[in-house]
Amino acid sequence: MATINDNFLKLKAGYLFPEIARRVNAFAEANPDASMIKLGIGDVTEPLPQACRTAMIKAVEEMGDRATFKGYGPEQGYAWLRDKIAKYDFQARGCEVDASEIFISDGSKCDTGNILDIFGDDNTIAVTDPVYPVYVDTNVMAGHTGDANDKGEFEGLVYLPITADNNFTAEIPSKKVDLIYLCFPNNPTGAVATKEHLKAWVDYAKADGSIIFFDAAYEAFITDAEIPHSIYEIEGARDCAIEFRSFSKNAGFTGTRCAFTVVPKNLTAKAANGSDVELWKLWNRRQSTKFNGVSYIVQRGAEAVYSEEGQAQTKALVNFYLENAKIICEKLTAAGLAVYGGVNAPYVWVKTPNGLSSWDFFDKLLHTCNVVGTPGSGFGAAGEGYFRISAFNSRENVEEAMQRITTRFSS
């Protein structure tokens, strides 16, 4: 008889967002006339930039002509897109990243999970708490953890709490860890990392032979000139870090799917026999075997992000969501709630009022304001007592949601 991967049975009842959907659907069925506003999941709402749409339409037309038709593309991505990424996203900021070190993919969510394929099962893994759930759940699925305790913490993972008490910056662990997940600007807290903070992590990783998985999916939202957009702005990071990026939030590609991962060619890890192995070669082998690449049409759309028109349009898109975040922060602060983030990130992290638990506050907003957010406890034990509100929505919906919430909590 066929057997299953029992590690999946360790996972909590449901991934955070499906559980939110379940509660929202139950409420909607019981209250069919309720006008709900969803500020929970980090999905964009505004149309793709015109430059991207134009490029994709042209690419579709090319697929209708035998002379310009494209079949299988290179697994690593087309060179013309990787060249522009290297030039504009990294080299323009003084980062030593070559186009050959960039791998185009269908999402940084996928890559942060798939990257585990090339690492051993005996690594000690550190995650921040709260944390993007994919980092934890993919390690559980891979068999890298034990069972979860009553707080939802999995045996075998090193949790690094980030709260208001430490300004949402994870302290360097006292014990040695091998793989470290860092996400800045942070999902869910909206916090950012200074150069000094990232330098401390790079120094730690280099000293202990650790690898940093740096998720920079929200770097386009950084407005502070002193905050690094890439970990490769930090000296020595090429020796210890893999970076993940996405077109989902800056260009609205959540439904189109395009992202990329940077694996420096000099980056190594140890084989069982103690030899150094180049991770670039392993990741290239993995992608070549398990991935057929992002479609030509989508990659042409992503390339258009780097055109003069595309740069202006994506900047306008990012600024639109940042203005939403500003409105959320100002309105909730005026209502007496403690808020964090929302300045260099599209997420606002809210302290739940009156000692409410994260899920109690979720239910209260849903039932009294018909507004959907994300319970902080769904991101980890240290997220209990907090709540995430996303700026990804229309201006009309954001303003209406804030009106409902402030009316309810200011009275």
Q: What DSSP string runs through 10-33?
A: GS-SS-HHHHHHHHHHHHHHH-TT
Tell which residue, 141, 144, 133, has the closest CA to residue 183: 133
The pLDDT of residue 377: 92
Average pLDDT over residues 314-326: 98
Specify the residue for token string 């697929």. 63
Look up residue 342 and give its DSSP letter.
-
Ordered DSSP codes for 347-367:
EEEEEPGGG--HHHHHHHIII
Q: What is the pLDDT of residues 108-147, one digit of tens each?
A: 999 999 999 999 999 999 999 999 999 999 999 999 999 9
Looking at residue 15, its pLDDT comes to: 63
Query: pLDDT (tens digit, 9 = 90+) per residue, 324-348?
Result: 999 999 999 999 999 999 999 999 9
Stretch 84-106: mean pLDDT, rounded?
98
Say if strands 241-246 and 211-215 run parallel, antiparallel, or are unpaired.
Answer: parallel
Average the pLDDT over 354-372 and give the result: 95
- What is the per-residue pLDDT for 14? 56
Mean pLDDT, rounded, of the chain: 95
Residue 390 scores a pLDDT above 80: yes
| Percent of residues, the chain, with pLDDT higher than 70 | 99
Please give the structure tokens belonging to residue 154: 């999995």
> Whole-angstrom Cα distance, residue 270 to residue 276?
5
pLDDT of residue 21: 85
Which residues are 374's β-sheet partners?
388
Per-residue model confidence as pLDDT tens digits over 207-244: 999 999 999 999 999 999 999 999 999 999 999 999 99
Please give the Cα distance from 341 to 322 (Å, whole number). Answer: 11
DSSP 149-196: -TTSPBTTEEEEE--GGGTT-PPPPSS--SEEEEESS-TTT-----HH
- Strand 179-183 and strand 211-215: the pairing is parallel
- In the three-class reduction of DSSP (H, G, I as helix; E, B as strand; rest coil), residue 129 is classed as strand
DSSP 200-253: HHHHHHHHHT-EEEEE-TTGGG---TTS-SSGGGSTTGGGTEEEEEESTTTS-G
Check residue 142 and report its DSSP letter: T
Q: Per-residue pLDDT for 151 more than 90?
A: no
Mean pLDDT of 272-283: 98
Tell me which residue has tokens 């008889």.
1
Dmax (CA) for the chain in angstroms is 67
252, pLDDT greater than 90: yes
| Burial label, 328 (beta-carbon count in 10 A; 0-12, 13-18, 19+) | buried
pLDDT digits (tens, 9 = 90+) for 158-216: 999 998 999 998 889 988 999 999 999 999 999 999 999 999 999 999 999 999 999 99
Q: How confident is the model at residue 95 (pLDDT cuts 50, 70, 90)?
A: very high
pLDDT of residue 18: 79
**Residue 44's pLDDT is what?**
94
Report how far residue 82's alpha carbon sits from residue 104's, in angstroms, rounded to the nearest whole number: 8
For residue 156, is pLDDT > 60?
yes
pLDDT of 397 higher than 90:
yes
Token pair recorded at residue 188: 């869910």
Which helix (H) or strand (E) element contains residue 270? strand 268-270
Whether residue 13 is predicted with pLDDT greater than 70 in this model: the reply is: no
41-51 pLDDT, tens digit per residue, is 889 999 999 99
| pLDDT the model gives residue 42 | 82
